[in-house]
Each structure stands twice: as structure tokens, then as C-alpha cells.
Amino acid sequence: MNNSSFSSIAIVSCGTLSLELNYLKKNGFLDTVHLFYTTPGLHEDIHELERQLIQRIAKAKEKADKVIVVYGGKFCYVNADEPTRTMQTILAEQDSAVTRAQATHCIDALAGEAEREKIAGEVAGGEKVWWMTPGWIKFRHHVFKDWDKGLANENFPRHSGGAVVLDGVGFVENYMAEKPEEFLEYSDWMGIPIQPYTISLDRFKSLLLGAVIQYQ
């Protein structure tokens, strides 16, 4: 599937997807040596997100002529004070050497809307699902920073299909085996069951390759 090289490209990503990107590097799909991550969960703090993103891009440009940003274009950066300032605005300010893998958020990077609907029908009877990536498990305290039980109760229980973790790296199964109490406590805090769903990383690979093609 990988007909393009990433060797001359640096990647800047939300740390939430570091598990998937590190996996692709370890398994030979990504031949770049330059991976830069922002702190997971910064969609809750867009000013810090913007600061870190610009700083990581600057570092990446010191290492490579081309930079791919792995961040959602619609939901990861929502600026209520400046609604017209978007993720694309920030990246356009960096220069033409910076492009983005085209997904709306980290969930969409792993499974498109049609695939998510299919999965929800299969594992949740079509009920509303709270989607997660393995990073939402590993980096829980970053992703849900400042969330208390009350806020959790306001958000999670309305997802009657529970939480589904789109796992293309085998993280959740190991986590459940090694830290079952933490996994159960997480589910209890959310007030809904959490279940992993094994996926391929083919969509994620395609989005990364699509970003490479923009440079060709």
C-alpha cells in the first residue's frame, strides 16, 4: 500500500494518535525519523493547542522541508472568540510546506462515518456510541483534564450504545489484561460500558499517503 516515502517529511500530530503513528513507524510504513507530538486532549484548551502546534511545526521545519500535520480540521480546534479562525487558518499561516491529513478528528482518521455507522450497528444495535481511540484510554487524564464525575454524568450516559474504542494497534486488549481494575474504574467513571473494536489502519494510512501526494 505504501508507494510513497515519508523520508523527507516530518509529522506533527496530536499525541492522542501517537500510538498509531509509532506503530506504523515500527512496522515500516512510516520511514520518517521525525515525529513530533502535542499534548493529548488540547481540544479542551485551544490557545495551548495553537501554541504547541506552531512550536512543533517550527521544530519539524528545522528537520525536514515538508511537514504533515495530523489534526482534525473541524472538531479539534473550535475558537468561540474568533469563529473564522480554524485549523486550516493556522496551517496556512505557516507556509506551503505544511499540509494536513484530511480528517475531521482523530476518530475520523481511523474510521470514516460510514464505517462507524456499520460498527455501531454491529456492536451497539445502532444506538448512539461514544467513540474513542486507544489514546483516549492511555492518556485519559490529559484528554479529560478538569472533568469531574458531574461533567462525566452530563455527557457519557446519553450514549446508550456505550463507548467503543477503535483499536488498530492491540492496545486495549493488553491494557484490560494488565490493568483490569483501572479499565473497570474508567468505565464506572464514564457510567457506560467500554468495549474495544479491532480495526485495520488502512484508512489512516490512506490519509497519510494522501497528504504526501499533495507534495508531488
User: According to the model, what pLDDT value does residue 215 have?
Assistant: 66
Asked if residues 36 and 213 have their Cβ atoms less than 8 Å apart, the reply is no
Q: Is the pLDDT of residue 1 over 60?
A: no
Asked if residues 120 and 159 have their Cβ atoms less than 8 Å apart, the reply is no
Mean pLDDT (whole number) for 118-135: 96
Three-class SS of 103-159: CCCHHHHHCCHHHHHHHHHHHHCCCCCEEECHHHHHCHHHHCCCCCHHHHHHHCCCC
User: According to the model, what pLDDT value does residue 3 have?
Assistant: 56
pLDDT (tens digit, 9 = 90+) per residue, 96-114?
A: 789 999 999 999 999 999 9
Number of Cβ within a 10 Å radius of residue 184: 12
Of the ranges 87-96, 142-151, 199-208, the best mean pLDDT one: 199-208
Catalogue all structural domains in the chain, each as residue range(s) with its CATH number: 9-107+201-213 (3.40.50), 112-198 (no CATH)
CA separation for the pair 33, 63 (Å, rounded): 9
pLDDT (tens digit, 9 = 90+) per residue, 65-78?
A: 999 999 998 889 88
pLDDT (tens digit, 9 = 90+) per residue, 45-68?
A: 999 999 999 999 999 999 999 999
Mean pLDDT (whole number) for 189-208: 97
User: According to the model, what pLDDT value does residue 2 have?
Assistant: 47
